[in-house]
């Protein structure tokens, strides 16, 4: 990158990667072809690998075993040349289109004879020495820390055993299809890595458990070397063949008897019901893989996620098509799978429909009904009114509570743990919001990112804030609004590119800014900066999001009004408000966009008045916008009357300034007010 061309540390890392790759040669290691030095910078010419990163690939058990063998063989070659990779993880492994595994990024690898002593380990995830820390530590907590060995996480001197531990963590995740640690990106993760506190390996097939336990020994001295790992993996691969050879030696008579037994057993085991169950599990596993892939995308540093998420939705559509045409599954099983897809896509009403007709579990239906209820409440003008609505209670809340109760009983009968956020939802309705928030705090602090828990906690805090507002308890309302924003910020630290967090933050920060304007807050400038940052971060993850563009326009308009109230220039704020409003309206013309456009015209007129200049046609433009909106959508007149009266007020002020009569406008305003 151009910004690193003159960076000495970068050049040293670049040269080191070339030196290391030139020493080692193996089909599973990305090869170096040339190193070019020019006045414009150095260039590393590497082998081109057409394929995908390992974590994006869905490997069957046989492919997974072959991939692990290839990785162990690559490490064996590197270790023979006394090279420690130091950053082995799924992001640094490619699977070529022909199935060949390739290990990448030896830029932070190190020859053993250059590791002379302990080094510092940065809490944010750096795996490099100090001279390369600035290139690798930023944003690498999820990608690097969780694949470190305990000694590497503690900053101790490394040996090849550290790479073996990383391979063990990868094997655990590849075989169990689950993260190796319970948390994603917290201080607790670093502590868990240092303590070697991995998840239970019982989700791994039994044949692999002893090996993974050996690879992930906390003591580096107890781990096997890479050549021994290759031998053990190949032994697992050859185990079925050895069993077949033993059976052959038993003789033809025994084989004939065995064949009969096998046929009978297969006839019993592979009945239609068993085949359907296995096929259902296959599809459910594919859904889980799509969810895991989306979580990987959201966990990456702040970036535009739309192309990657759209690609996952396309994969989901293909999966739904496969389910639809699968002749082995019955209609109920298909509907349940559709329901699971819609549940993960947060399309809760459709999830309820298909899970109900497909015989979904009570836990699945509880999640779907809770999601539908939360959507209806947050989509209402008033949380408090929605929470008290008899229609919403009967149609959404009661079914949600019923399935939560049934899911609890089913979990107890099976000796399983009830979902904590289900429990928190029950407590919120039956006991108190504060007790429910306390339960949700435990989920968010101690588990991997839980979107449902975050959304429910934010909903409860927002409902409490609005209740305080309606009672005139301004300070208490502001405290809950700040707590709501903090909830989403905490979630954003764990999933750095999840658009939903930034979108909700954008709206909440704007509400706090409005609150600041209404009560002449001393913190206006910091709240304005925060609102603009939150909305812009949502636009990073979802470019062109109309609502956030509209919110940015409104934030800059509030800034303009604030400046005008102190007699200061509002030109820059008004220019930004117009710019963002134009961007939003160019995408989709909305009522909010027209309302803000009218407000901008009013503020522009006020700015001209402060400068002693004619207001021109700005007030007429604002009036025409409001009248057109009311004419086209008369059902919204009650919501628009406030802005219309504001326009009338500014017109009367201008008339007085010009010493013209205001009786006509006063009467029109009075008529409008009486209509309310």
Phi, psi of 15 (to 5 degrees): -65, -40
Residue, of 449 and 512, whose pLDDT is higher: 512
User: What whole-number percentage of the chain has pLDDT above 70?
Assistant: 84
**pLDDT number for residue 518:** 79
**pLDDT number for residue 639:** 66
CA distances 181 to 88, 147, 504, 582, Å, are: 16, 10, 28, 46
Which structure tokens are listed for 430? 């039956």
**pLDDT number for residue 267:** 55
**384 within 8 A of 467, measured Cβ to Cβ:** yes
Which structure tokens are listed for 613? 């200049």
Please give the Cα distance from 437 to 455 (Å, whole number).
11
Model confidence band, residue 142 (pLDDT cutoffs 50, 70, 90) = very low
Per-residue pLDDT reduced to its tens digit, 18-52: 888 888 889 999 988 888 888 777 888 999 999 99
Phi-psi group of 31: left, alpha or beta (phi > 0 → left; psi -120 to 50 → alpha; rest → beta) = beta
* 440-364-307 Cα angle (round to 5): 80
**pLDDT number for residue 121:** 38
DSSP symbols for 102-171 = EE---TT-EEGGG--S-----TT---S-GGGHHHHSTT-HHHHGGGS-HHHHTTPPP-THHHHHHHHHHH
Per-residue pLDDT, averaged over 385-404, amounts to 85
For the ranges 282-296, 385-399, 570-584, 645-659, the lowest mean pLDDT is seen at 645-659
Helices (H) and strands (E) in the chain, counts: 30, 7
Model confidence band, residue 124 (pLDDT cutoffs 50, 70, 90) = very low
Model confidence band, residue 126 (pLDDT cutoffs 50, 70, 90) = very low
**465 within 8 A of 484, measured Cβ to Cβ:** yes
**pLDDT number for residue 143:** 42
Model confidence band, residue 668 (pLDDT cutoffs 50, 70, 90) = low
**pLDDT number for residue 669:** 60
Per-residue pLDDT, averaged over 169-184, amounts to 89
**pLDDT number for residue 664:** 64
**pLDDT number for residue 246:** 61
**pLDDT number for residue 261:** 60
**pLDDT number for residue 141:** 37
The answer for residues whose C-beta is within 8 angstroms of residue 191's C-beta and 6 or more apart is: 197
Burial label, 620 (beta-carbon count in 10 A; 0-12, 13-18, 19+): middle
Residues counted in the chain: 676
In this predicted structure, the answer to whether residue 185 has a pLDDT above a threshold of 80 is no
Among 178, 244, 238, which Cα is nearest to 207's? 238
The answer for residues whose C-beta is within 8 angstroms of residue 440's C-beta and 6 or more apart is: 420, 421, 424, 453, 456, 457, 460
Phi, psi of 42 (to 5 degrees): -95, 150
Per-residue pLDDT reduced to its tens digit, 305-318: 999 988 988 998 89
**pLDDT number for residue 117:** 42
**pLDDT number for residue 259:** 57
Phi, psi of 35 (to 5 degrees): -135, 120
For CA atoms 349, 350, 354, 359, the dihedral sign is negative
Please give the Cα distance from 83 to 185 (Å, whole number).
29
Model confidence band, residue 161 (pLDDT cutoffs 50, 70, 90) = very high
Per-residue pLDDT, averaged over 391-405, amounts to 90
The answer for residues whose C-beta is within 8 angstroms of residue 539's C-beta and 6 or more apart is: 545, 548, 549, 552
**pLDDT number for residue 159:** 92
**pLDDT number for residue 128:** 31
Model confidence band, residue 445 (pLDDT cutoffs 50, 70, 90) = confident
Other residues' Cβ atoms within 10 Å of the Cβ of residue 532 = 21
Specify the residue for token string 């108190």: 432
Model confidence band, residue 473 (pLDDT cutoffs 50, 70, 90) = confident
Model confidence band, residue 230 (pLDDT cutoffs 50, 70, 90) = very high
Among 4, 255, 22, 251, which Cα is nearest to 136's? 4
Residue, of 211 and 620, whose pLDDT is higher: 211
Model confidence band, residue 112 (pLDDT cutoffs 50, 70, 90) = low
Other residues' Cβ atoms within 10 Å of the Cβ of residue 88 = 29
């Amino acid at each position: 990158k151009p910004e690193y061309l003159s960076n000495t540390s970068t050049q040293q890392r670049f040269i080191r990667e070339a030196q290391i790759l030139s020493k080692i040669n193996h089909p599973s290691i990305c090869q170096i072809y040339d190193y070019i030095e020019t006045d414009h910078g150095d260039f590393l010419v590497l082998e081109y690998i057409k394929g995908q990163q390992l974590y994006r690939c869905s490997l069957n058990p046989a492919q997974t075993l072959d991939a692990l063998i290839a990785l162990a063989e690559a490490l064996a070659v590197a270790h023979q040349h006394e090279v420690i990779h130091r950053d082995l993880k799924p992001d640094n492994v490619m699977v070529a289109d022909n199935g060949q595994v390739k290990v990448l990024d030896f830029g932070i690898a190190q020859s053993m004879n250059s590791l002379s002593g302990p080094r510092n380990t940065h809490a944010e995830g750096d795996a490099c020495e100090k001279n390369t820390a600035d290139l690798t530590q930023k944003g690498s907590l999820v990608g690097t820390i969780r694949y470190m060995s305990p000694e590497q996480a503690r900053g101790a001197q490394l040996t090849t055993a550290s790479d073996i531990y990383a391979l063990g963590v990868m094997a655990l995740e590849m075989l169990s299809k689950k993260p190796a640690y319970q948390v994603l990106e917290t201080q607790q993760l670093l502590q868990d890595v240092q303590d070697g506190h991995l998840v239970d390996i019982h989700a791994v097939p039994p044949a692999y458990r002893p090996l993974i336990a050996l690879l992930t020994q906390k003591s580096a001295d107890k781990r096997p070397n890479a050549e021994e790992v290759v031998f053990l993996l190949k032994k697992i691969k050859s185990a079925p063949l050895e069993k077949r050879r033993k059976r052959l030696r038993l003789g033809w008579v025994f084989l004939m008897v065995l064949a009969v037994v096998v046929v009978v057993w297969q006839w019993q085991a592979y009945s239609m019901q068993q085949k359907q169950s296995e096929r259902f599990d296959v599809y459910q596993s594919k859904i889980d893989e799509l969810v895991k892939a989306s979580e990987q995308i959201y966990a990456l540093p702040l970036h535009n996620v739309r192309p990657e998420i759209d690609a996952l939705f396309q994969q989901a559509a293909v999966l739904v098509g496969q389910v639809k045409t699968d002749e082995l599954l019955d209609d109920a099983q298909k509907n349940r799978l559709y329901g699971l897809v819609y549940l993960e896509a947060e399309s809760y009403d459709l999830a309820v429909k298909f899970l109900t007709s497909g015989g979904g579990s009570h836990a699945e239906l509880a999640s779907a009904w809770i999601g539908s209820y939360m959507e209806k409440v947050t989509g209402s003008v008033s949380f408090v009114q929605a929470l008290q609505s008899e229609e919403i209670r009967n149609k959404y809340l009661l079914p949600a509570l019923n399935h939560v109760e049934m899911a609890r009983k089913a979990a107890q009968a099976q000796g399983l743990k009830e979902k904590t956020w289900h429990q928190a939802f029950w407590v919120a309705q039956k006991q108190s919001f504060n007790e429910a928030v306390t339960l949700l705090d435990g989920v968010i602090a101690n588990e991997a990112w839980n979107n449902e828990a975050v959304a429910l906690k934010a909903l409860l805090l927002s409902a409490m804030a609005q209740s305080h507002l309606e009672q005139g308890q301004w300070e208490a309302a502001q405290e809950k609004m700040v707590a709501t924003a903090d909830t989403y910020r905490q979630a954003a630290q764990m999933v750095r590119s999840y658009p939903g967090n930034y979108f909700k933050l954008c709206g909440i920060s704007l509400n706090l800014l409005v609150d600041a304007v209404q009560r002449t807050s001393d913190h206006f400038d910091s709240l304005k900066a925060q609102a603009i940052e939150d909305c812009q971060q949502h636009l990073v993850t979802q470019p062109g999001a109309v609502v956030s563009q509209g919110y940015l326009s409104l934030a800059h308009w509030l800034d303009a009004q604030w400046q005008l109230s102190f007699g200061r220039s509002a030109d820059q704020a008004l220019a930004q408000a117009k710019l963002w409003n134009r961007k939003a309206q160019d995408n989709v013309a909305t009522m909010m966009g027209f309302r803000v456009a009218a407000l901008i015209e009013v503020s522009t007129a006020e700015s001209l008045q402060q400068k002693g200049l004619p207001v021109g046609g700005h007030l007429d433009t604002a009036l025409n916008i409001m009248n057109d909106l009311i004419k086209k959508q008369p059902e919204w007149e009650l919501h628009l009357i406030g802005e219309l009266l504001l326009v009338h007020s500014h017109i009367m002020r201008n008339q007085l300034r010009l010493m013209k009569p205001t009786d006509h406008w006063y009467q029109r305003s009075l008529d409008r007010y009486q209509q309310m």
